[in-house]
A and B are shown apart, each in its own frame.
Chain A
Amino acid sequence: MKLTGPLERVLRVLTADPSAPHYGYDLMKAAKLPSGTLYPMLARLEQDGLVGSEWEAQREDAAGRPPRKYYRLTAEGLRVARLELAQAASRSPARQAGYGTARPTRGSTARPAPGSTR
């Protein structure tokens, strides 16, 4: 799995509370990603078995709202995500310290900080 900036942001949101289910728009807002980036990523993660999805049960109080599909990390996904995030943090400690826009120097293995390419 190649940890790109957007993927890292999604994993951060999902690992923040691994038991909490997220629906698509919720993830879009929390990770600040457009739908065209988020959904292909979720489909890939789901195919790899790292993310599971379930349909919301139809509730009476939901005033005609159609049931949503919720995403959540699987046990394997949580393990992989924590590992990847820890590796990303150790690769560029500067980013963890808040220098979010730090550019990677030439030849280093650091990746661009999330959001620096937009």
Chain B
Amino acid sequence: MSRAPRVQQLAEWLIRAACRRLPADIRAERCREWTAELPAILGDESIRPPVRRAMRALSFCAGISRTTRQLDRSARSGARRSRSSQWRTGAPAAQSPHVAVRALLGFLIWLVVVFGVIALVRVLPHASGWPLGVIVALGIGFDAFCLADIARAARVRHLPKWAWVLICLIQTPAGGIIYLSIGRIARPRPAPPGGQAP
């Protein structure tokens, strides 16, 4: 039967994906440790129908995912205490305003964008197609900017990265604005190589 190896492959893939959160120096060892547990689970005769063994292996992977998230969090809080975090290499991050202030700011920007577009469409003659083309191009560019920002961010706030990607894609101006105002974590620009004279 080809189900067992396939479940094992899926489980190994899930564990590898979870291990990507870990710091590089312990990643490979942890990954080896957890994938080595899979044969014991999938070959556990005390769990009777084989389907339940497969379920057990997958729930094991879910637990591993929770574990790596927790290990990552505790490693990060340790790094923050020792001030050796990656984001600390540049200028210190600006204190970002309260989430309500940022949400309000995002909403105002959204209002300006939407009414600006409506006004633009009304003012310009309908016959020419170019305003629509420009708006669509701006929308695509904005989406691309947001997605690139999510991809490059080490962390985002409140939601997992994939959820922010979905939000940005589903509603073009609003989703991206919500991400930038609420989900994005302000990060300092990397320090210029020469250093600026004060």
Contact = CB atoms under 8 A, between A and B. Distances in A.
Interface string A47-87: 00000000000000000011111000000000000000000
Given A34-B59, A36-B62, A25 B37 contact: yes
Given A23-B40, A66-B32, A67-B36, A37 B63 contact: yes
A18 B38 CA distance: 25
A24 B63 CA distance: 12
B64 interface: yes
Contacts of B44: 25
B71 interface: yes
Interface string B54-86: 000001101111110011000000000000000
B25 interface: no
Interface string B23-50: 0000000001111110111001000000
Contact of A68 (B37, B64, B67, B70): B37
A36 B60 CA distance: 8
A49 B158 CA distance: 34
Given A40-B70, A66-B35, A25 B63 contact: no
A24 B70 contact: no
B67 A36 contact: yes
Contacts of A65: 36, 39
A43 interface: yes
Nearest to A62: B39
Interface centre among B33, B41, B70 (most CB of A within 10 A): B33
22 contacts: A23-B36, A23-B40, A25-B40, A26-B40, A28-B60, A35-B63, A35-B67, A36-B63, A36-B65, A36-B67, A37-B63, A39-B34, A39-B64, A40-B67, A43-B67, A43-B71, A66-B32, A66-B39, A68-B33, A68-B37, A69-B32, A69-B33
